[in-house]
A = this chain, B = another copy of it.
């Protein structure tokens, strides 16, 4: 049981849209990820997903509106809801979601990454 320093883990990678696992509990993963630019529209059939902004800000695009999420804020996207994160500048995010959640959800393309440990 070791503590995890977010800044240290964030400095260990520089890729975008490529979540890194930094913790596991109760069948859930804690991940860190950096966003920059536009992601792909997708949904997760069986997983709710929490996005907590650590540095920066981004827009969570939903089919009917856009929710801007800033540092110190989080949003939970329920299972089944289509979403697309868009970040005009680099943003650092902590994710909470079930172990095994795929970053692109129901879509598989060149943006799909299996999460690895930071």
**Interface on A for B, CB 8 Å cutoff?**
1-7, 23-26, 28, 30, 47-50, 60, 62, 67, 69, 72-78, 81, 96-98
Can you spell out 8 A-B residue pairs with CB atoms less than 8 angstroms apart? A1-B78, A4-B75, A5-B72, A23-B50, A24-B76, A25-B96, A26-B28, A26-B47
Task: Report the separation of the CA atoms of residues A21 and B2 in the bound assembly, to the nearest whole angstrom.
Answer: 26
Q: How many copies does the complex hold?
A: 2
Of the residues B50, B69, B72, contact of A25 by C-beta under 8 Å: B50
Q: Which residues of chain B come closer than 8 Å to A73, judged between CB atoms?
A: 3-6
Contact A74 B3 (CB under 8 A): yes
How far apart are the CA atoms of A3 and B75 in the complex, in Å? 4
- Residues of B contacting A77 with CB < 8 Å? 1
Q: Which residues does chain B contribute within 8 Å of A48, judged by CB atoms? A: 25-26
Known A1-B76, A74-B3; contact A28-B28, beta-carbon cutoff 8 A: yes
